[in-house]
Amino acid sequence: MSAFVLIHGAWSGAWCWDRLTPLLRAKGHEAIALDLPGHGTNRISPELVSFDDYVASVVQVMRGLQGEPILVGHSMGGFTISAVAELMPERVTGLVYLCALLPKDGDSPAQMTRDDPEANLSRCATFDPERMCSTFREEKAAEILFGMCAPDEAASAAAKLARQPVRPVLAPVHLTAQRFGEVPKYYIETLQDRSVSLTLQRRMQQSWPCRRVFALDTDHSPFLSAPDDLASILCEIARSGD
C-alpha cells in the first residue's frame, strides 16, 4: 500500500482533505494532510511565510516516513510538490496534480494565474493594506471554488478560507529535467473548474509529460464534491506505481 501526502492550495488548509483521507485509509493507504506554514493550525504569522517554508514543512513530514510517498498537490499546491521533487526526487514515488499548477522552470503562481484569461481568481482576492496577505472573498467562494458542492458544504468550506501569504505566490520555482523531470507525474483534470481553467490545465500538461491523465466532471474542489471518485483515481495511481 502507498502513503499519500496531501498538499492544499492557496487560502486553504488540511481541512479540505477531511472527506478524502478516511476513504484512502479504508483502502489500506496512509494519508497525511498537513497545514502549510501560515495556514490552519500552523500558526506562523502569514506575513512571515516564504515558499521555502512551504517546501521545508513537506520535507519534514517526508523524513518521518519509512517509504517514498505519492505527493498530491491541489491548485497552488502543485508548486510545492514540484519543488519538493526537485529537492529530493529519490524520495518521491509520484506526483499527482489535482487541478493544480504544473510549472515550468522559473514560473511563479502569480504569473501562471495571470496567464489564465478564463479563470476568475483576479476578481476574487482582496489584499491587506501592506499587501503581504490576500483574502478570498467569501461571497465568491461558493461560485468559483465549490460550485458543485451542496450549498451547506460550500458555505462551510468558504467560511474556513483564510489569509494567503503573498510571498509564496510571487516566488519562482527552479526545476530541472535531471531531477524533477524524472519523477512520474499524473494529472487529474476538473472539467467544470472556474478557478484553474481546463485550457490552462491542458496547456500545462504539455510542459512535462504525464504518465496518465484522469478527468473528473467537477468543480475546483473534488475532494468535497466528488471524494469517492477522487479516491478511486488515487488508488488506481497507487496501483500503477506498485
For 107-147, what is each residue's pLDDT tens digit? Answer: 999 999 888 877 767 678 899 988 899 999 988 998 899 99
Neighbours of 66 (CB within 10 A): 7
Reply yes or no on whether the pLDDT at 39 is more than 70: yes
Helix/strand/coil (H/E/C) assignment for every residue in 112-154: HHHCCCCCCHHHCEEECCCCCEEEECHHHHHHHCCCCCCHHHH
Segments forming the whole domain that contains residue 177: 3-240
For 203-241, what is each residue's pLDDT tens digit? Answer: 999 999 999 999 999 999 999 999 999 999 999 999 986
For 148-169, what is each residue's pLDDT tens digit? Answer: 999 999 999 999 999 999 999 9
Neighbours of 41 (CB within 10 A): 9
Residues 131 and 105: their CA atoms lie apart, in Å, by: 26
Q: Which residues of 87-106 are buried (b: 16+ CB within 10 A; e: fewer)?
A: bbbebbbbbbbbbbbbbeee
For 55-99, what is each residue's pLDDT tens digit? Answer: 999 999 999 998 899 999 999 999 999 999 999 999 999 999 999
Residues 191 and 10: their CA atoms lie apart, in Å, by: 20
> For residue 1, what pLDDT band results from cuts at 50, 70 and 90?
confident
Question: Is residue 149 within 8 Å of residue 222, measured between CB atoms?
Answer: no
Number of domains the chain is built from: 1
| pLDDT confidence of residue 241 | 65
- What nine digits make up the cell of 202? 491542458
Question: Is residue 187 within 8 Å of residue 102, measured between CB atoms?
Answer: yes
Query: Order of strands across the sheet with 30-34?
Result: 30-34, 3-7, 70-74, 94-98, 185-190, 212-216
Average pLDDT value for the chain:
94
CATH number at residue 55: 3.40.50.1820
> If we measure between CA atoms, which residue out of 100, 98, 78 comes closest to residue 175?
78
Reply yes or no on whether the pLDDT at 242 is more than 70: no
This prediction has a pTM of: 0.97
Question: Is residue 14 within 8 Å of residue 78, measured between CB atoms?
Answer: no
DSSP character for 104? P
Q: What is the mean pLDDT of residues 160-185?
A: 97
Find the helix or strand (DSSP H, E) in which 33 lies: strand 30-34
> If we measure between CA atoms, which residue out of 30, 94, 55, 112 comes closest to residue 241?
94
